[in-house]
Structure 1
Amino acid sequence: MLASAVRRVAPVILSKNAEETREILSVMLERSPSVGVVQTPDQKLKSEVDTICKRRVKDEEKNLSWWLDQSDPYSLFRADDRSRMPGHEDVIQRVQSVIRKNFGASYSVTTFGSVRYGAASAKSDMDLMIFDPKRIGGFAPSKKRLPRIYHVKSLAGTLKHAGFASVEAVPASVPIVKFRDPKSGIRCDLNVNHQPGYWNSIMIGRYATLSPHLPRLMLAIKRWSRPIGLNNPSPSKRLAITFSSYAFALMTIGFLQHRGLLPNLQENLGEDIRDRYFWNLKPEFHCDMRFKWHVPFIPANREVSTPSLFNDWFHFWANFEPDKQMVDICQGGIVPREGGENRPLCVKDPFIRVRNVTMNISREVFERLQEECQDASAELRKRSAEGGYVIM
């Protein structure tokens, strides 16, 4: 009976990705009134589930096949390909070993940013954070003294002595140590216990599980923007500051929320922030790092393709009106521009509410983004007309 029920809903859930399909069928198995709570499906049903999942993945790969040529600036990696991550994991373990040996066994090292939420390639730069279990809530104003690990010059010296290359201490509002791993060539930025970036990455990762389009779009946007100089938030002195990968991630989430393809994980959280707040060090203020893990949500369009959304992303930002609109995923995506913000573009940080993550983007840079988006949209439509894929 249960197997026949699965067959009846199979055409409906084929529009979802493989992970979602498995989750739906798993819930059906656990909640089916005819069989009670079932821990594992029988072999026949498991075979049907696998067939459904494999068929969906095969269809998706066929639809994106023209993008998989890595020499093409419009190419797109599969964001769920874990085979590229061992190099990053190896770096994390070796850095953690050095930290624990020199500063204490209680510290741990983790990653955040694109490597954390699945929009990175094998050689992508990596953001790292040293987690301090004694300061889970951050840096309360009443406790000013910090241990030696927080001194970036001392931390930089330790990493250099351990054999890491191109080590540089950067004292800033969030102090970091830049270095390169000589074994893998991966470049890293390491901070100590600045948790908002970590929890941001966890939330973005959660959004990525709710829409398989998100990590693929973020990686495609990075591959498109970096060669043309639009993904460089820390350029040399003679070049203009352009967009960070984090800014593009928020812009993409906001775009998908606007299209009804992602929910708002920070809606109706209430006023009590004691469960997850963080004291920022410089300047001193609370960060509200709460978000919901589970929300009832049905995408507005389950049939839309990633290539179609890639083109829509370009079209959307080519026509975006920054004087009237801003990005705020905490408020549901694209919202009316607030008064008092005089920067050319406003993309609000979902946790640090006083921060505009595009505050250093000039009007000239944003206008260049719009021009490049217009050109990219035209290129994708040209390829569609030549039979590359169908824009829905």
Structure 2
Amino acid sequence: MNSQNQVESTLKEILKVVEPSREDWVTRFKIINELREVVQSIENLRGATVEPFGSFVSNLFSRWGDLDISIEVSFGQCVSSAGKKRKQTLLGELLRALRKQGGWSRLKFIPSARVPILKIVSKWQNISCDISIDNIQGEIKSKFLFWLNEIDGRFRDMVLLVKEWAQANGINNPKTGTFNSYSLSLLVIFHFQTCVPPILPPLKDIYPTNVVDDLTDCRCQS
């Protein structure tokens, strides 16, 4: 076996290890449904929706990847109207409800972050969850990555491999000043766009207008 074949064989073995199983998908949906029940038990959050985003939605997560959740409370609007203080208050109420219910560990509320966030760990496979309020930017990024994933399956494989490489080398942790997973995905996008011939098109060909402006002008009909 020549060196190129050895590399390809090794990469395929790595992908087999990190590839989520059906159980991994089922477990994450179970966590989402449990969070929905808790959210609906909170008076100030009744009617809000629990929406996953991040690598789970873009189908770029490994079997031990975490779960990003946005609680949508902007009733009648397509864009968040909740201010930071409101988000802090709602996440604080959710924290108390989760503690009361039990079954969650390592609950940590970070109200002072640029985007207030509640970090928890589920009893199911010890999956970490990051919960925020009206995280429209996170949802937009997830959708774009999903579209790119649909264009060419090699994009997903490369992102998973790069993320595993980064974790193995200690450079996939923004808390220590290194790359977050979204940044690593952007590096893969750039590489695929600059291949000869290119594998991925310019992002403007996927969404030709300004998505932020479109969402800002958008209002849902009640």
TM range (shorter): 0.7 to 0.9
User: Is residue 232 from structure 1 mapped to residue 173 from structure 2 by the alignment?
Assistant: yes
1:153 is aligned, of 71, 92, 97, to: 92
User: Aligned pair in 2 of structure 1 residues 252, 181: CA closer, same or farther (>3 Å)?
Assistant: same
Match of 2:203 in 1: 265
Structure 1 residues 199 and 68, CA gap change in structure 2 (3 angstroms): same
> In the alignment, what sits opposite 2:188?
252
Work out the CA distance in 2 between the residues paired with 1:178 and 1:159: 11
RMSD of aligned residue pairs (Cα, Å): 2.9
The aligned residue for residue 174 of structure 1 is 115
RCO higher in structure (CA 8 A, sep ≥6): 2
Q: Distance in 1 between matches of 2:51 and 2:99?
A: 19
The separation in 2 between residues aligned to 1:123 and 1:271, in whole angstroms, is 34
Go from structure 1 to structure 2 and tell me whether the alpha carbon gap of 1:227 and 1:66 turns closer, same or farther (over 3 Å shift). closer
Are the aligned partners of 2:15 and 2:157 in contact in 1 as well (CA < 8 Å)? yes
Structure 1 pair 91–256 and aligned structure 2 pair: CA distance change class (3 A): same
Is the CA contact (8 Å cut-off) linking 1:168 and 1:178 kept in structure 2? Answer: yes
1:98 — aligned with what? 38
Q: Residue 384 of structure 1 corresponds to which residue in structure 2?
A: none
CA distance in 2, matches of 1:221, 1:148: 33
Within 5 Å, give how 1:206-355 maps onto structure 2: 206-234=147-175, 240-259=176-195, 260-267=198-205, 269-270=208-209, 275-277=214-216
Look up the SS of the partner of 1:191 in the other structure: strand
Distance 2:27 2:211 in 1: 40
- Distance in 2 (alpha carbons) for counterparts of 1:229 and 1:271: 35
Percent identity of paired positions between Structure 1 and Structure 2: 22
* Amino acid paired to 1:206: W
Q: Which residue identity does 2:215 align to in structure 1?
A: R
Shift of 1:133: 4.1
Structure richer in helix, relative to its length? 2
Q: CA, structure 1 residues 77+245, in 2 after alignment: closer, same or farther (shift >3 Å)?
A: farther
* Bigger-Rg structure (1/2): 1
Q: CA offsets per residue over residues 337-358 of structure 1, 9 Å max, x none? A: xxxxxxxxxxxxxxxxxxxxxx
Q: Equivalents in 2 of 1:199, 1:80: separation in Å?
A: 24
Pair 1:76-2:15 in alignment: yes
8 Å contact 1:107–1:131 — kept in the other structure? yes
Corresponding residue of 1:336 = none
Distance of 1:266 and 1:194 partners within structure 2:
23
Alignment: residue pair count: 204
* TM-score (structure 2 length as normaliser): 0.80
For 1:86, the aligned partner's letter is V
Task: Give secondary structure in 2 for the equivalent of 1:242.
Answer: coil
Structure 1 regions of 5+ residues with no counterpart? 1-62, 70-74, 235-239, 279-392
Read off the aligned partner of 1:95 and give its amino acid letter: L
Give yes or no for contact 2:95–2:109 (8 Å, CA) kept in 1. yes
Q: Secondary structure at the match of 2:80?
A: coil
Q: Output the TM-score relative to the length of structure 1.
A: 0.47
CA distance in 2, matches of 1:218, 1:138: 30
2:105 is matched by which residue type in structure 1? Answer: A
* Contact 1:106 1:133 survives alignment (8 Å): no
Alignment check: 8 A CA contact 1:210 1:262 kept = yes
Residue type of the partner of 1:263?
P
3-state DSSP class of the match of 1:151?
Answer: helix
For 1:271 and 1:183, the matched residues in 2 are separated by: 39
Cα distance in structure 2, aligned partners of 1:156 and 1:215? 34
Counterpart residue number, 1:165: 105
Residue 30 of structure 2 aligns to which amino acid in structure 1? Answer: D
Deviations 1:193-213 (A, max 9, x none): 111111110111000100111
d(CA) in 2 for partners of 1:146, 1:264: 38
User: Does the CA-based 8 Å contact 1:169-1:178 persist in structure 2?
Assistant: yes
